[in-house]
């Protein structure tokens, strides 16, 4: 028996043990913090005490005109935001993927500026400038261009306003995917069409657009789901007839309102269907190109007459995108601002209050702690998953990659609501202490970014370097620590910064899970300040600018490291 046991252990490949341990950890996390919360929502939606399994609550949901109006509004926000984002990003992608011109690096960096602020922060400044007696109307009245104030923020414009603010924040995601797709095109295909006499529009319609459709779907699905389920922007704009706001209002009685659970289940079904449908369509139109990776990209130097259109398009988009940022910046410095276009004087008092108020200091401190912890978890798991997937260390490694991408299709508001439903009354009760659940939520939702960043680096790193290290006597752990990790360091820093910065400004998880002020992250503190009378919106703007500065530095570092490959982080 001892001899048999020895033979069994001798035949076992211990080099795969770490891979299986990482796989086991991922499965454990996903079961308890992804599958079980969603299953809890499903069970409460489809189960009644009287008749067991039943669609009674789903039927009541579809009869509820308030909830159905919210569903229609949210779907429209997703569609309109995606359309606006495409209009903004496609001309920019075509220009920057095909032309070299002076100032390209600067303009390309400015085009990513909207990513540094969550749109709900921009909504604070939008209110100050576009209110009935805000800066815009006062300016128009003073110039005699209007006789009565225009109600820019009328409820009938809420849907357009939310979509507009969302698209100014999300278009870089679609832009990065389109640039990546255009960069991978085989230029010989368009050259062949040109020799056949096709004009630029015909070549774009018949050659370019069909070939970049996978990139379009990959980016647009993230934009759509993000806009569909964004909580902060409609909440601060005042557009309460949307799915996320309804779910946010349900948190206080999450255990009693089964119709509310059905609403959450409906969102899960919608986002899952859209994600899978996009994957299906992308797989059907994923054309292969023989020249891909072997031909020089079709990039030419801009002619003198190209510069007007290049700068006009780029600067127009940048100007529009900076409007929310500018309004928040001015509001944060404003003082004695009543019935005037701009504040009568500027002050730093609001920033001093940010660093003296206990609520804002607690928010910054909590966000740093939560984001650092979540980033540490993501680095460990992300590197391990990326290594397993790219090196094909275990069977079904592609399935593991797909599993890790699920959080991209599962909105944060659904995950947070599921945690409230599942873990209320347990040792993880968010009402008592939401810190563990916030770290887990931040980690799960940003893990895809870390995996994508590490995978991009591993795909460019030859496995022969690791093999050589093993041949010279180093073990697997030493090889990864001294060979692989140093070669991946740039990608790991980029992925970690992306994970950290987006965790710092997380909205949905923070607003729902943090229920006591001592646990508020920075975004919950901004929201609470905004609701206060008096100087509340000014302090909220100043705190928003502090958060924006943190994220700006992170995004600039990521862009510096990854360059055009940054789009890989936003591929569904």
Query: How does residue 571 score in pLDDT terms, banded at 50, 70 and 90?
Result: low
Q: What is the pLDDT of residue 294?
A: 42
Q: pLDDT tens digits for 476-508?
A: 777 777 877 887 777 787 778 778 888 888 888
Does the pLDDT at position 567 exceed 60? no
Given 3-state DSSP classes, what are the helix, strand and coil percentages for the chain, each rounded to the nearest 5?
Answer: 75, 0, 20
CATH of region 356-572, choose from 3.40.1160.10, 3.40.50.720, 1.10.3720.10, 3.40.50.150: 1.10.3720.10
Between strands 99-100 and 300-301, the pairing is: parallel
Query: How does residue 9 score in pLDDT terms, banded at 50, 70 and 90?
Result: very low
Distance CA 44, CA 54 (A): 10
Query: How does residue 47 score in pLDDT terms, banded at 50, 70 and 90?
Result: confident
Q: What is the mean pLDDT of residues 453-482?
A: 77
**Residues written for the chain:** 572
Distance CA 359, CA 520 (A): 8
Residue written as token pair 């490959």: 565
Residue written as token pair 């909220």: 540
Q: What is the pLDDT of residue 11?
A: 44
Does the pLDDT at position 349 exceed 50? yes
Q: What is the mean pLDDT of residues 429-446?
A: 92
Give the pair of three-digit tokens for residue 440: 């887990």
Question: In which residue ranges of the chain is CATH 1.10.3720.10 found?
Answer: 71-335, 356-572
**Residue 136, CA distances (Å) to 1, 142, 153, 330, 338 in order:** 86, 10, 12, 13, 13
> Which residue has better confidence, 217 or 73?
73
Q: What is the pLDDT of residue 34?
A: 86
Strand stretches in 294-409, DSSP E: 300-301, 334-335, 345-346
Give the pair of three-digit tokens for residue 340: 């005037």
The architecture that CATH gives domain 71-335 is Orthogonal Bundle (1.10)
Q: What is the pLDDT of residue 111?
A: 80
Residue written as token pair 């489809």: 46
Query: How does residue 561 score in pLDDT terms, banded at 50, 70 and 90?
Result: low
Give the pair of three-digit tokens for residue 535: 């100087």
Q: What is the mean pLDDT of residues 36-55?
A: 81
Does the pLDDT at position 262 exceed 90? no
Q: What is the mean pLDDT of residues 552-564?
A: 67
User: What is the average pLDDT value for the chain, to the nearest integer?
Assistant: 81
The three-state secondary structure class of 369 is helix
Give the pair of three-digit tokens for residue 336: 């004695």
End-to-end Cα separation, the chain, in angstroms: 51
Query: How does residue 12 score in pLDDT terms, banded at 50, 70 and 90?
Result: very low
> Which residue has better confidence, 243 or 462?
243
% of the chain exceeding 90 in pLDDT: 13
- Name the β-bridge partners of 346: 334
Q: What is the pLDDT of residue 514?
A: 92
Q: pLDDT tens digits for 209-258?
A: 887 887 788 788 888 988 998 888 898 888 989 999 988 888 766 556 67
Q: What is the pLDDT of residue 136?
A: 87
């Amino acid at each position: 028996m001892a001899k048999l046991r020895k033979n069994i252990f001798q035949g076992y490949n211990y080099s795969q043990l770490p891979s299986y341990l990482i796989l086991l950890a991922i499965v454990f996390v996903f079961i308890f913090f992804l599958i079980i919360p969603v299953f809890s929502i499903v069970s409460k939606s489809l189960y009644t005490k009287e008749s067991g399994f039943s669609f009674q609550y789903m039927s009541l949901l579809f009869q509820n005109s308030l909830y159905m109006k919210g569903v229609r509004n949210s779907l429209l926000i997703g569609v309109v935001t995606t359309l606006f984002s495409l209009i903004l990003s496609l001309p920019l992608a075509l220009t920057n993927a095909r032309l070299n011109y002076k100032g390209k690096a600067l303009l390309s960096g400015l085009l990513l500026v909207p990513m540094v602020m969550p749109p709900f922060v921009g909504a604070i400044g939008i209110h100050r400038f576009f209110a009935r007696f805000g800066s815009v109307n006062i300016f128009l009245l003073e110039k005699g261009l209007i006789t009565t104030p225009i109600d820019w923020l009328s409820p009938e414009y809420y849907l357009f306003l939310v979509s507009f603010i969302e698209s100014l924040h999300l278009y870089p995601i679609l832009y990065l995917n389109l640039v990546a797709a255009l960069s991978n095109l085989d230029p010989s295909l368009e050259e062949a069409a040109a020799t056949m006499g096709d004009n630029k529009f015909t070549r774009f319609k018949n050659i370019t657009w069909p070939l970049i459709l996978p990139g379009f779907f990959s980016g647009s699905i993230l934009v759509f789901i993000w806009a569909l389920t964004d909580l902060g922007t409609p909440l601060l704009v005042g557009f309460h007839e949307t799915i996320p706001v309804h779910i946010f209002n349900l948190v206080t009685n999450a255990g009693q309102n089964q119709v509310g659970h059905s609403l959450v289940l409906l969102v899960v079904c919608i986002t899952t269907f859209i994600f899978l449908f996009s994957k299906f369509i992308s797989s059907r139109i994923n054309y292969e190109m023989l020249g891909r990776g072997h031909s020089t990209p079709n990039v030419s130097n801009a002619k003198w007459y190209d510069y007007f259109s290049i700068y006009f398009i780029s600067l127009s988009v940048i100007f529009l995108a900076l409007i929310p940022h500018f309004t928040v910046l001015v509001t944060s410095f404003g003082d004695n601002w009543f019935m005037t276009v701009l504040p009568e004087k500027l002050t730093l008092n609001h920033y001093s209050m940010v660093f003296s108020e206990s609520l804002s200091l607690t928010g910054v401190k909590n966000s740093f702690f939560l984001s650092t912890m979540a980033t540490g978890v993501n680095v460990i798991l992300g590197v391990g998953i990326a290594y397993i997937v790219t090196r094909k260390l275990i069977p079904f490694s592609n399935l593991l990659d797909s599993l890790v991408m699920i959080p991209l299709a599962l909105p944060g508001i659904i995950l947070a609501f599921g945690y409230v439903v599942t873990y209320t009354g347990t040792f993880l009760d968010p009402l008592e202490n939401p810190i563990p659940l916030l770290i887990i939520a931040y980690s799960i939702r940003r893990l895809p970014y870390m995996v994508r960043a590490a995978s991009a680096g591993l795909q460019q790193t030859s496995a022969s370097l690791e093999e050589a290290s093993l041949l010279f006597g180093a073990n697997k752990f030493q090889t990864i620590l001294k060979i692989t990790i140093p070669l991946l360091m740039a990608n790991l820093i980029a992925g970690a910064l992306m994970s950290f910065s987006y965790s710092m400004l997380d909205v949905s998880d923070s607003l729902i899970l943090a229920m006591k002020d001592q646990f508020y992250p920075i975004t919950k503190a901004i929201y609470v300040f905004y609701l206060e009378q008096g100087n509340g919106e000014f302090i909220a703007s100043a705190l928003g600018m502090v958060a924006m500065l943190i994220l700006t530095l992170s995004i600039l570092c990521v862009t510096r490291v990854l360059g055009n490959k940054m789009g890989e982080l936003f591929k569904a």
